[in-house]
């Protein structure tokens, strides 16, 4: 999708006229269009000529099927999203099978359901009733989950031109959480969160002289929705019912670290639904390892419009440490300390630590090995080996020696 001038994010956005506020439109030297309530040289008064209209009535509808026994009322949902429906019958005459109260149901995507069957009380007389169907997009039983949304565009930074509860057009109940961001024509717009494309408009004439007003509505897995508005006419590259999946994941730049060590830190796998936030978390996981100087995780188009390729590019950095020390004391005479550690042993992500302390009276050797992903799970397992000796036999009868091993699992 390509953004025309402004991207508006929110659950919904209805542009209502605001006669008390005058908006001016002007284009700067870089071609960036700005909308403001402050007049600037060369600016023109901006007006809305049409509204963004999302028609659902033709896709969620009540059907009446007549038969010898009476009439059956069915509700059909042709959307790629669930709908919360309510059917109420009023003015009922000569009918049995009428529910005592309105019927409510959550109708799954692309499905239909029989809500009632009415029969005439007197077969010689017609049934009389007035049905009223109400519906709302989404499943009210789902609970929203906390989610950190990444910015849904490439490039920038861009300027926020109208925020939540904006006086110009973000004061309606459905649009009060929307945000407008000014950006150059042709800026790529990408989904901030994975989900199902449930509604697309790609041919609206636009507002004013600009071909805006096109949009994409995405239903997230927790029932929340995101709407991307004011898109350029003919620029929408997704279709209703489409969900973007990961075609493949390419890992490059790992000259030492083996592929499985990198892939196990990714929150996405090949064949999963694409999720930009999980891609960001995957990047953070790889950086937290400390194995790489630089990590880049980028998404490109795959073999089809509903397929994405994730490219993981890493730059290795040294992960080992060597420490050497020496000292002298009147008791222990000359002492030597040697330590070696490796956080990415043999490129397998394993941690190895070896320490040696050697003196005329005291000697100690420690070796520690840790596997951070034991059996491919989030379990840390390892073992420790040690040997120590403290020899004071030349001063007394004390001569301490200890050798042992231990296992760890956490």
Architecture of the domain delimited by 60-137: Sandwich (2.60)
Q: Which of 224, 219, 183 is nearest to 199 (CA)?
A: 219
Is the separation of the CB atoms in 102 and 87 below 8 Å?
yes
What is the rounded CA–CA span in Å between residue 289 and residue 149?
24
Q: Which of 319, 316, 267, 309 is nearest to 295 (CA)?
A: 316
Q: Which of 351, 326, 328 is nearest to 338 (CA)?
A: 326
Q: Which fold has domain 245-316?
A: Ubiquitin-like (UB roll) (3.10.20)
Query: 162-174 burial, b if ≥16 CB within 10 A, otherwise e?
Result: beeebebbbeeee
**The two domains 60-137 and 245-316 share their CATH topology (first three levels equal):** no
Q: Residue 19: is its pLDDT beyond 70?
A: no
What is the rounded CA–CA span in Å between residue 306 and residue 271?
11
pLDDT score at 171:
82
pLDDT in tens, 134-185: 998 889 898 888 877 778 887 888 888 888 888 877 888 777 888 888 888 7
Instruction: Break the chain into its structural domains and give their ranges.
Output: 60-137, 245-316, 320-409
pLDDT grade for 62, boundaries at 50, 70 and 90: very high
Q: Residue 16: is its pLDDT beyond 60?
A: no
Q: Residue 21: is its pLDDT beyond 70?
A: no
Least confident of 134-143, 188-197, 248-257, 371-380: 188-197
pLDDT score at 211:
42
pLDDT in tens, 288-301: 999 999 999 988 77
Is the separation of the CB atoms in 381 and 374 below 8 Å?
yes
Does the predicted model carry a pTM greater than 0.75?
A: no
Percent of the chain with pLDDT over 90: 31
pLDDT in tens, 248-287: 899 999 999 999 999 999 988 888 877 777 888 899 999 9
What is the rounded CA–CA span in Å between residue 185 and residue 155?
12
pLDDT score at 152:
83
What is the CB neighbour count within 10 angstroms for residue 309?
Answer: 17
pLDDT in tens, 211-247: 447 888 888 888 888 888 888 888 888 888 888 777 8
């Amino acid at each position: 999708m390509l953004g025309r001038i402004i991207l508006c994010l929110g659950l919904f956005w209805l542009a209502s006229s605001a006669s008390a506020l005058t908006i001016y439109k002007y284009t700067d030297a870089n071609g960036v269009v700005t909308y403001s309530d402050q007049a600037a040289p060369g600016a023109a008064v901006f007006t809305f000529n049409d509204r963004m209209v999302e028609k659902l009535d033709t896709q969620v509808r009540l059907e009446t099927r007549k038969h010898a026994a009476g009439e059956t009322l069915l509700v059909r949902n042709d959307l790629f999203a669930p709908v919360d429906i309510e059917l109420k019958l009023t003015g009922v005459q000569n009918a049995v099978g009428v529910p005592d109260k309105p019927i409510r149901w959550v109708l799954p995507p692309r499905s239909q359901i029989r809500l009632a069957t009415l029969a005439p009380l007197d077969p010689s007389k017609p049934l009389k009733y007035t049905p009223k169907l109400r519906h709302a997009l989404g499943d009210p039983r789902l609970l929203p989950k906390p989610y950190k949304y990444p910015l849904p565009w490439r490039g920038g930074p861009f300027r926020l031109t109208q925020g939540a509860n904006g006086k110009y057009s973000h004061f309606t109940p459905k649009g009060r959480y929307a945000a407008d961001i000014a950006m150059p024509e042709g800026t790529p717009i990408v989904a901030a969160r994975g989900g199902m494309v449930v509604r697309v408009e790609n041919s609206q004439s636009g507002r004013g002289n600009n071909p805006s007003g096109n949009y994409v509505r995405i239903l997230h897995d927790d029932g929340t929705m995101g709407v991307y508005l004011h898109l350029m006419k003919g620029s929408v590259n997704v279709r209703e019912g489409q969900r973007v999946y990961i075609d493949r994941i390419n890992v490059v730049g790992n000259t030492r670290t083996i592929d499985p060590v990198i892939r196990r830190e990714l929150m996405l796998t090949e064949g999963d639904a694409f999720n930009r936030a999980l891609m960001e978390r995957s990047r953070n996981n790889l950086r937290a390892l400390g194995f790489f100087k630089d990590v880049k995780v980028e998404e490109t188009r795959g073999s089809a419009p509903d397929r994405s390729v994730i490219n993981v590019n890493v730059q290795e950095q040294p992960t080992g440490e060597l420490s050497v020390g020496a000292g002298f004391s009147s008791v222990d005479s000359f002492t030597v300390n040697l330590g070696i550690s490796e956080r990415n042993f043999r490129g397998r992500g394993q941690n190895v630590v070896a320490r040696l302390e050697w003196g005329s009276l005291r000697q100690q050797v420690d070796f520690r090995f840790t596997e951070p992903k034991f059996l491919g799970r989030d379990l840390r397992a390892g073992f420790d080996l040690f040997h120590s000796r403290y020899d004071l036999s030349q001063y007394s009868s004390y001569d301490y020696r200890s050798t042992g091993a231990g296992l760890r699992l956490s």
